[in-house]
């Protein structure tokens, strides 16, 4: 009897051990999202350049909990989680068993949530959170593409963050090279990049001033009447910046220019600012006499001077003919909107055009240093 009892106990222990170690079949995705009670949640499969496909839906209970179950497992890829009007993305490599998401509906769209059980999703959440907090630069995206283990995650992040900007085609192409060219993602991403490249080439072909051309000279007075010439700065790397005190986007961009100037001024970098403040012939014709028009012009000039001080534009080269959109240099450079920039190399040739943001300016500047 004692031997039988021992055998029974051993059998129970063996069964218990086997039962506990049995792997979870398929994939389970669970969520606990505060303030999301009684909503419906959807999981969509995402392919770059195509409309998302609904993969599954579930109800969120009164405590903000939901669950998706995939008995056969979830295919590798990029997914979109939709909770009401909020959307976030997840990434799966196909080996996930239990994925847990915890957050708050109020902040989840900014990727302020935790995810466990999926390394790819964690990588995606980390980089997307940095993007929403404006802590990730274009260079960081390029590094992410180089280092992330799942190339589809790298491609998706490049696509979402860099979009259709032709200036970042090198990063997008690098992300594409890491994908399987025969996969749906690889094929659709290739189509997207090809379209961006065509648009960018058409845009550049329409520019009056082309990369590689000598920069036309500009000679104009500063607010005190002293004349400066762009050609005097040959030997330096120069950011030619068309702007105006009345231009909101210009004023918001000025801190980026100042940031780059402060960092690289000791290495032969400077800024040549051309203001489109002043008065054009149409506005001048509306005044009853020349005296009134000149008073208006004086006021516009003062606004220009005050904007230089307010935005701490500390370089010396501030010039204008005070003719607003009839500015001769603006016409010469084909400027039809501002802010508009041209990066000029040490030999006086155009190296890049229409740079925006400190990261873009710095990225192109480093190529010339």
Band (58; pLDDT cuts 50, 70, 90) = very high
Residue 46 in any domain: the answer is: yes
Q: Look at phi and psi of residue 281 and say left if phi exceeds 0, alpha if psi is from -120 to 50, else beta.
A: alpha
Question: Of 113, 130, 147, which residue is a domain's last?
Answer: 130
CA 365/CA 264 separation, integer angstroms: 9
Per-residue pLDDT tens over the stretch 279-314: 999 899 899 999 999 999 999 999 999 999 999 999
Identify whether residues 52 and 190 lie together within a single domain: no
| Mean pLDDT score across all residues of the chain | 90
CATH classification at residue 36: 2.60.40.180
Identify whether residues 83 and 180 lie together within a single domain: no
Residue 298 in any domain: the answer is: yes
Identify whether residues 271 and 178 lie together within a single domain: no
DSSP letter (8 states) at residue 62: T
- Rounded to the nearest angstrom, the gap between the alpha carbon of residue 186 and the centroid of all alpha carbons in its chain is 21
Band (165; pLDDT cuts 50, 70, 90) = confident
Checking 260-266 for CB contacts under 8 A at 24+ apart, the result is: 260/358, 260/361, 260/362, 260/365, 261/314, 261/315, 263/362, 264/237, 264/362, 264/365, 264/369, 265/315
Angle at 61 between CA 57 and CA 66, to 5 degrees: 45
Per-residue pLDDT tens over the stretch 126-141: 999 999 888 888 888 9
Q: Look at phi and psi of residue 138 and say left if phi exceeds 0, alpha if psi is from -120 to 50, else beta.
A: alpha
**In which domain, by residue range, is 190 found?**
137-205
Residue 4 in any domain: the answer is: no
CA 360/CA 171 separation, integer angstroms: 13
Band (166; pLDDT cuts 50, 70, 90) = confident
Q: What is the pLDDT of residue 24?
A: 56
What average pLDDT does the segment 144-164 reach? 93
- Per the document, the length of the chain is 369
Identify whether residues 184 and 60 lie together within a single domain: no
Question: Of 109, 130, 151, which residue is a domain's last?
Answer: 130
Is the separation of the CB atoms in 157 and 147 below 8 Å? no
Is the pLDDT at 10 greater than 70? The verdict is no
The helix/strand/coil state of 88 is strand
Alpha-carbon dihedral of residues 11, 13, 17, 19, nearest 10 degrees? 60
Among the listed residues 153, 118, 152, the one whose alpha carbon sits nearest the alpha carbon of residue 27: 118
Residue 108 in any domain: the answer is: yes
Identify whether residues 64 and 86 lie together within a single domain: yes
Identify whether residues 271 and 301 lie together within a single domain: yes
CA 162/CA 250 separation, integer angstroms: 21
Sign, CA torsion 109/112/113/117: positive
Identify whether residues 201 and 174 lie together within a single domain: yes
40: which 2 tokens?
């419906």
Identify whether residues 231 and 353 lie together within a single domain: yes
Residue 324 in any domain: the answer is: yes
Identify whether residues 236 and 336 lie together within a single domain: yes
CATH classification at residue 265: 3.40.30.10
Identify whether residues 237 and 278 lie together within a single domain: yes
Identify whether residues 252 and 320 lie together within a single domain: yes
Question: Of 130, 145, 174, which residue is a domain's last?
Answer: 130
Among the listed residues 165, 144, 139, the one whose alpha carbon sits nearest the alpha carbon of residue 156: 144
Is the pLDDT at 15 greater than 70? The verdict is no
Identify whether residues 302 and 360 lie together within a single domain: yes
Residue 6 in any domain: the answer is: no
Per-residue pLDDT tens over the stretch 177-200: 999 999 999 999 999 999 998 888
Is the pLDDT at 8 greater than 90? The verdict is no
Per-residue pLDDT tens over the stretch 196-234: 988 887 776 667 788 899 999 999 999 999 999 999 999
* Number of structural domains found in the chain: 3
Surface-to-core class of residue 337, CB atoms within 10 Å of its CB (0-12 exposed, 13-18 middle, 19+ buried): exposed
Residue 7 in any domain: the answer is: no
Residue 273 in any domain: the answer is: yes
């Amino acid at each position: 009897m004692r031997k039988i009892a021992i055998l029974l106990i051993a059998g129970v222990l063996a069964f218990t051990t086997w039962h506990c170690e049995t792997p979870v079949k398929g994939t389970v995705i669970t969520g606990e999202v505060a303030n999301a009670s009684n909503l419906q949640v959807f999981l969509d499969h995402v392919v770059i350049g195509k409309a998302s496909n609904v993969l599954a839906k579930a109800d969120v209970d009164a405590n903000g909990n939901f669950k998706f179950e995939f008995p056969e497992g979830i295919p590798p890829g990029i997914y979109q989680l939709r909770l009401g009007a909020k959307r976030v993305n997840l990434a799966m490599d196909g080996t996930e068993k239990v994925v847990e998401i915890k957050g708050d509906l109020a902040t989840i769209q900014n990727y302020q949530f935790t995810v466990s059980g999926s390394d790819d999703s964690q990588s995606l959440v980390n980089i997307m959170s940095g993007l929403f907090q404006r802590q990730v630069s274009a260079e960081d995206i390029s590094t992410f593409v180089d280092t992330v283990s799942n190339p589809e995650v790298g491609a998706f992040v490049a696509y979402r963050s860099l979009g259709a900007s032709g200036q970042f085609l090198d990063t997008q192409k690098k992300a594409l090279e890491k994908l399987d060219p025969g996969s749906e993602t690889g094929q659709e991403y290739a189509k997207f990049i090809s379209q961006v490249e065509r648009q960018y080439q058409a845009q550049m072909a329409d520019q009056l001033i082309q990369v590689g051309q000598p920069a036309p000279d500009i000679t104009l007075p500063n607010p005190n009447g002293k004349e400066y010439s762009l050609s005097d700065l040959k030997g330096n790397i120069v950011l030619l910046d068309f702007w105006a005190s009345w231009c909101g986007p210009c004023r918001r961009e000025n801190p980026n220019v100042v940031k780059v100037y402060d960092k690289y001024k000791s290495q032969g970098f400077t800024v040549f600012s051309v203001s489109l403040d002043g008065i054009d012939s149409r506005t001048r014709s509306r005044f009853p006499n020349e005296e009134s028009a000149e008073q208006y012009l004086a006021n516009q000039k003062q606004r220009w001077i005050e904007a230089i001080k307010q935005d701490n534009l500390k370089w010396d080269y501030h010039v204008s003919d005070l003719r607003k959109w009839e500015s001769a240099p603006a016409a010469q450079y084909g400027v039809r909107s501002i802010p508009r920039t041209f990066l000029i190399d040490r030999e006086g040739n155009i190296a890049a055009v229409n740079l925006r943001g400190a990261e873009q300016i710095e990225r192109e500047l480093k190529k010339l240093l």
